[in-house]
């Protein structure tokens, strides 16, 4: 006889499957931008789903997608901390300390010709986004790739909505400078 | 509103995150400020270009399988108590309990046989359900095939070390079943090989594993959720073929595979 526990466990798995698996592509896409390496991204996604399943009992909303992305971000953070890397996905909102003045970037000149936006293929755009420093990359990916609202981005990144707005403005401003100087065969990520 | 404020808020305008009042303020400022108007134009163009570009990697099929495999599944030795939504099981369950009620009239051995039959047919149904789920999963974009080739000599070695069997990979192109490739899948938490074929627009998954359900040499027919499912055992392997192909054509496929497998089992 199947015990009540096993039955509940099975039912939980089914509900989890229905709720969480449809967002797998979103979780993976963010992982690819946060972790860069494919294998690291896959491990992070798997760990994310493992943790999500473990905490699924206490899940009371809000939406499943931002909840999963928050977990993924924590997984990535933990991994960076474990490796002792500099690149922690900052939660403090101390954006002025972030390296937005890295020599690759220049504040866009407000000249009329800068208004012309060059056409780039998908790979080049991906590379430009991937080269953005944290936490601007994360904010922009959550917005443009994962299609989250500002409120949801604030939740995932653990910062106020105002910070999300300034990060997005900064992210797009950096992206725009890089966009117009990029050759179409620009290498993927700088790291 | 000054330019510094506008530079932040124009992104919220682009993203559709501004309330009507603020949106009006931004537009009013932009109307009187060439610099900010320029920025709005460029950032909007950039946003549109990003929306059109494919910036989102799809999760690879093997990752999906890994994640599915870690979810609890009903145990393989499941009892007749398994909760199952499928309607067609109900009559057999009733007859089982009906049989139990008159159990005093049966010898103990006969009752044991009956129970064994019910249990093993339940296991068979559990596997059939999972075969259908795996098939449906495989039809999601990007999940059908891990190794894509119409060359059987590429597909076969690909499975080495991934599953504990060497699944026969048979080229039936001449018979109208195109070999698309192979995939590693999970059924009941165990890795199984899937060899993928196509006839016209219809995908056929042929799952092969050492033990997958209740072995019997004769082909079992069933229809689950509108899919035709065939199960048979041969040469120490269990085969499950599933497709939305019509029953006669799927039978033809099964015959060709069995015939070719008998002719050259390795």
The domain that contains B71 carries what CATH number?
Answer: 3.30.200.100
pLDDT for the residue numbered B136:
87
What DSSP designation does B189 have?
T
Report CA torsion sign: A156, A158, A162, A168: negative
Residue A142 sits in the same domain as residue A71: no
Helices (H), chain B: 3-14, 20-31, 34-52, 61-69, 89-101, 108-138, 152-158, 247-263
Contacts of A29 in chain B (CB under 8 A): 55-58
Residue environment code for B109-135, b if the CB has 16+ CB neighbours within 10 A, otherwise e:
eeeeebbeebbebbbbbbbbbbbbbbb
Q: Where is average pLDDT lowest: A28-32, A106-110, A164-168? A: A106-110
Q: Determine, yes or no, domain membership for A130.
A: yes
B9 interface with A at CB cutoff 8 Å: yes
Q: Is the pLDDT of residue B125 over 70?
A: yes
Residue A37 sits in the same domain as residue A77: yes
- Residue B38 or A5, more confident: B38
Q: Is the pLDDT of residue B32 over 70?
A: yes
Residue environment code for A3-15, b if the CB has 16+ CB neighbours within 10 A, otherwise e:
eeebeebbeebee
Count of structural domains, chain A: 2
Q: Determine, yes or no, domain membership for A160.
A: yes
Residues B189 and B65: their CA atoms lie apart, in Å, by 9
Predicted complex ipTM exceeds 0.90: no
Nearest CA in chain B to A42: B63
* Domain coverage including residue B214: 61-263
Q: Determine, yes or no, domain membership for A191.
A: no
Q: Is the pLDDT of residue A125 over 70?
A: yes
Nearest CA in chain B to A169: B8
Residue B164 sits in the same domain as residue B226: yes
Q: Determine, yes or no, domain membership for A188.
A: no
Angle at A11 between CA B122 and CA B123, to 5 degrees: 10
Count of structural domains, chain B: 2
Q: Determine, yes or no, domain membership for A90.
A: no
* Domain coverage including residue A117: 95-181
| Among B43, B55, B66, beta carbon nearest to A145 | B55
Residue B189 sits in the same domain as residue B96: yes
Q: How far is A6 from chain B (nearest CA, A)?
A: 8
Residue A169 sits in the same domain as residue A100: yes
Cβ-Cβ contacts under 8 Å for B100 (sequence gap 6 or more): B111
Residue A134 sits in the same domain as residue A65: no
Report CA torsion sign: B254, B257, B262, B266: negative
Residue A20 sits in the same domain as residue A53: yes
Residue B108 sits in the same domain as residue B159: yes
Final residue in a domain of this structure, among A83, A117, A141? A83
Residue B170 sits in the same domain as residue B136: yes
Residue A13 sits in the same domain as residue A70: yes
Q: Is the pLDDT of residue A75 over 70?
A: yes
Q: Determine, yes or no, domain membership for A88.
A: no
B70 interface with A at CB cutoff 8 Å: yes
pLDDT for the residue numbered A25:
94
Residues B187 and A117: their CA atoms lie apart, in Å, by 50
Q: Where is average pLDDT lowest: A20-24, A117-121, A135-139, A179-183? A: A179-183
Residues B3 and B29: their CA atoms lie apart, in Å, by 8
- Averaged over B118-122, what is the pLDDT? 59
| Among B53, B54, B79, beta carbon nearest to A1 | B79
Residue B47 sits in the same domain as residue B165: no
CATH number for the domain harbouring residue A152: 1.10.10.10
Residue A115 sits in the same domain as residue A159: yes
> What is the Cα gyration radius of chain B?
28
Residue B173 sits in the same domain as residue B141: yes
Q: Do B9 and A24 touch (CB under 8 A)?
A: no
Residue B125 sits in the same domain as residue B251: yes
Q: How far is B37 from chain A (nearest CA, A)?
A: 10
| Among B8, B41, B53, beta carbon nearest to A166 | B8
CATH number for the domain harbouring residue A78: 1.10.1740.10
pLDDT for the residue numbered B121:
64
Residue A68 sits in the same domain as residue A113: no
Residue A102 sits in the same domain as residue A160: yes
Q: Is the pLDDT of residue A87 over 80?
A: no
Contacts of B46 in chain A (CB under 8 A): 117, 172, 175-176, 179
Q: Do A1 and B50 touch (CB under 8 A)?
A: no
Percent of chain A with pLDDT over 70: 75
B262 interface with A at CB cutoff 8 Å: no
- Residue B238 or B71, more confident: B238
- Averaged over A47-52, what is the pLDDT? 92
A109 interface with B at CB cutoff 8 Å: no
Q: Do A149 and B79 touch (CB under 8 A)?
A: no
Residue A171 sits in the same domain as residue A102: yes
pLDDT for the residue numbered B27:
93
Contacts of B51 in chain A (CB under 8 A): 144
Final residue in a domain of this structure, among A52, A83, A114? A83
Cβ-Cβ contacts under 8 Å for A77 (sequence gap 6 or more): A88, A89
Residue B37 sits in the same domain as residue B115: no
């Amino acid at each position: 006889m199947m015990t009540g526990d096993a039955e509940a466990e099975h039912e939980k798995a089914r509900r989890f499957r229905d709720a969480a698996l449809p967002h797998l592509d979103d979780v993976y896409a963010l992982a690819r931008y946060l972790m860069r390496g494919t294998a690291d991204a896959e491990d992070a996604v798997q760990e994310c789903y493992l943790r999500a399943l473990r905490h699924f009992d206490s899940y009371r909303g809000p939406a499943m997608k931002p909840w999963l992305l928050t977990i993924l971000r924590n997984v990535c953070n933990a991994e960076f901390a474990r490796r002792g890397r500099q690149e922690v996905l900052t939660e403090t909102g101390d954006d002025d300390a972030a390296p937005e003045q890295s020599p690759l970037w220049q504040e866009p000149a407000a000249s009329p010709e800068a208004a012309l936006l060059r056409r780039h293929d998908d790979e080049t755009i991906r590379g430009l986004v991937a080269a953005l420093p944290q936490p601007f990359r994360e904010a922009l990916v959550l917005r443009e790739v994962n299609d989250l609202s500002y409120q949801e981005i604030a939740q995932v990144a653990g910062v106020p909505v105002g910070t999300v707005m300034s990060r997005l403005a900064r992210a797009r401003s950096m992206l725009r400078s890089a966009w117009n100087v990029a050759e179409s065969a620009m290498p993927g990520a700088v790291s | 509103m000054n330019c510094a404020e506008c530079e932040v808020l124009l992104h919220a305008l682009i993203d559709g995150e501004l309330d009507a009042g603020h949106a009006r303020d931004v537009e009013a400022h932009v109307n009187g400020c060439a610099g900010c108007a320029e920025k709005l134009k460029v950032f909007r163009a950039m946003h549109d270009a990003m929306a059109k570009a494919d910036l989102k990697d799809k999760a690879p099929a093997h990752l999906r399988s890994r994640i599915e495999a870690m979810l609890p599944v009903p145990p393989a030795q499941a009892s007749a108590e398994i909760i199952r939504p499928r309607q067609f099981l109900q009559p057999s369950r009733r007859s089982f309990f009906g049989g139990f009620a008159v159990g005093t009239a049966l010898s103990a051995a006969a009752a044991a046989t009956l129970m064994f039959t019910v249990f093993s047919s339940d296991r068979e149904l559990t596997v059939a359900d999972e075969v259908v789920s795996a098939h449906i999963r495989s039809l999601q974009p990007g999940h059908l095939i891990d190794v894509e080739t119409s060359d059987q000599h590429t597909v076969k070695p690909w499975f080495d070390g991934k599953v504990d069997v060497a699944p026969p990979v048979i080229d039936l192109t001449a018979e109208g079943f195109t070999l698309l490739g192979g995939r590693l899948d999970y059924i009941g938490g165990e890795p199984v090989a899937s060899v993928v074929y196509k006839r016209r627009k219809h995908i056929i998954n042929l799952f092969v594993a050492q033990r997958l359900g209740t072995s019997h040499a004769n082909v079992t027919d069933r229809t689950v959720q509108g899919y035709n499912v065939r199960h048979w055992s041969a040469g120490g392997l269990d085969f499950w073929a599933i497709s939305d192909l019509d029953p006669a054509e799927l039978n033809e496929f099964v015959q060709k595979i069995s015939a070719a497998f008998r002719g050259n089992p390795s």
